Amino acid sequence: MKYSKSIETVIRTDVLVIGGGSAGFGSAVASARNGAKTLLIEKGELMGGMATAGLVGPFMTCYDDEPKEQIVKGIFDELCLRTEARGGAIHPSKVNGMTTYSSYYVKSHCHVTPFLSEILAVVMEEMVLEAGAKILYNVQVCDVLTNEGTITGVVVAMKEGLAVIEAKTYIDCTGDADVAYYAGAACVKGDEKDGVMQPTSLFFEVGGIDREKFVGALEEKKAQGELGIPGENCWSWYIEEARKNGDWTLERNEVGNYEQPIEGRWKINTTRMAHIDATNTEDITKAIIDGRKQVLQVLNFLRKYVPGCEKIQLIQIATTLGVRETRHIVGQYKLTAQDIMERKHFDDAICTFAYAIDIHNSEGGGATFHQVNGYYTIPFRCLVPADIENLLVAGRCISGTSEAAASYRVIPCCIATGQAAGTAAALALKTGTKPGDVDKAQLRETLLSQGAVIKE
């Protein structure tokens, strides 16, 4: 069907950040702090994306793999400290692996950051506004206007109807690379070989746990050496029995349970909806409906089988499907698992990270978990699409293989790539260059002077 209409509303800014998740938060704060007139648009009505609407948490580790040293700082660390000051987080330096905050996992689960989604959303909002950026909620990009490889505007759906937003530089923080894709940039969905994407999940939160009984049972298993490996063994000994009794039909064989920084509130990560393409509306709908059914089954399981959970109550189910992977842009450089494991040196490195390559199997219940070799860095070129001039990308959809994304997709790294993209966008405006052509030494110097960690 052909549809033609004049769009009356045109909004103008210098830097447009699309998506208010972790990456969009980092991008908007950095861009505005570095002097660019910045607008952040978000299709929902709160900051945080997966971390708030998706109830995902805690922030996975921001330390190296030993773990010895905190290697993600800058805007990420400010967020942790400010959220902690509001009673909404525990700083990662105070949190160990094999505890209730890390679901009794140890690999890549030392120095996680437990946080309350509601407080996080408020603190993120405050920091974006304080930096001088503007936020508009309820604004969804539904098309992109281009001219010879340059974006000339994005078409957005707002409460008032359609509008166009024109900017000098655009930062795609949609998680799904929507802007890059609508602009015609090359993207790869999931694994390059077979298109398989990691399964989706729906988080939920419970209260009313008898902590003494619950933690006592976990401590007993810990003493027997039966805990610690993500993807394998938390409460799995009851799941076997429940499966036999017809009380467990889920694919996963564990219940990830993360205590919150507020008494009596726990996040549960265990549902799994595989073979879902979360850029497809039918699939998203199917997954979220299935996810809600799985939540009720997990609740019944916990009440019936797990010590201390006899009287648990559902507090909330995430209102957004938990999406681990969809599109990856094809950027000027594609980060690989080999780069990560071999700790490849990049002259244009913009952040350091160390979370494991954590692949949730799309068949069956398990996960594959490869620890990294200390830490690795991400080059700026992964944020620059190969074929669009005035676009940068941050967050889980930057340029990398599916395996590499299985590490850098977690929240601290999304904030760090956001900080780099926002800083580069502002520097490009100051120096009159294309965002992908900013002076890399100047970009790195600016990032370092603003608290980021870039290890050699």
Ligand X SMILES: Cc1cc2nc3c(=O)[nH]c(=O)nc-3n(C[C@H](O)[C@H](O)[C@H](O)COP(=O)(O)OP(=O)(O)OC[C@H]3O[C@@H](n4cnc5c(N)ncnc54)[C@H](O)[C@@H]3O)c2cc1C
Our CB check for ligand X shows the closer of 307 and 366 to be 366
Contact call for residue 56 and ligand X (CB under 6 A): yes
Chain residues 112-151 in contact with ligand X, contact rule CB under 6 A: 140-141
Our CB check for ligand X shows the closer of 88 and 322 to be 322
Burial environment of residue 386 by CB neighbours within 10 A (0 to 12, 13 to 18, 19 or more): middle
Contact call for residue 173 and ligand X (CB under 6 A): yes
Contact call for residue 452 and ligand X (CB under 6 A): no
Contact call for residue 410 and ligand X (CB under 6 A): yes
Q: Which residues contact 161 (CB under 8 A, 6 or more apart)?
A: 9
Stretch that binds ligand X, among 58-66, 127-135, 240-248, 282-290 (CB under 6 A): 58-66
Q: Assign residue 104 a region: left if phi > 0, alpha if psi is -120 to 50, beta otherwise?
A: left
Contact call for residue 63 and ligand X (CB under 6 A): no
Task: Taking each helix axis as running N to C, give the angle between helix 74-85 and helix 22-33, from 0 to 180 degrees, rounded to the nearest 10.
Answer: 110
Residue 259 near residue 115 (C-beta atoms within 8 A): no
Size of the site for ligand X (CB under 6 A): 37
The amino acid at 341: M
Per-residue DSSP letter, 385 = B
Contact call for residue 201 and ligand X (CB under 6 A): yes
* Best CA proximity match to 159, nearest among 135, 138, 136, 134: 138
Among 44, 74, 379, 422, binds ligand X (CB under 6 A): 44
What H or E segment, with its residue span, contains residue 159? none
Our CB check for ligand X shows the closer of 361 and 442 to be 361
Contact call for residue 72 and ligand X (CB under 6 A): no
* Best CA proximity match to 441, nearest among 429, 430, 454: 454
The amino acid at 456: E
Taking CA atoms, 197 is separated from 189, 190, 254, 402, 425, in Å, by 7, 4, 21, 8, 30
Among 322, 331, 422, 435, binds ligand X (CB under 6 A): 322
Least Å distance, CB 192 to ligand X, is 19
Among 59, 76, 204, 375, binds ligand X (CB under 6 A): 59
Least Å distance, CB 433 to ligand X, is 25
Our CB check for ligand X shows the closer of 94 and 311 to be 94
Residue identified by tokens 């359609």 is: 162
Report the interface residues with ligand X, using CB under 6 A. Answer: 18-24, 41-44, 49-51, 56-60, 140-141, 173-176, 178, 201, 269, 322-324, 395-396, 409-411, 414
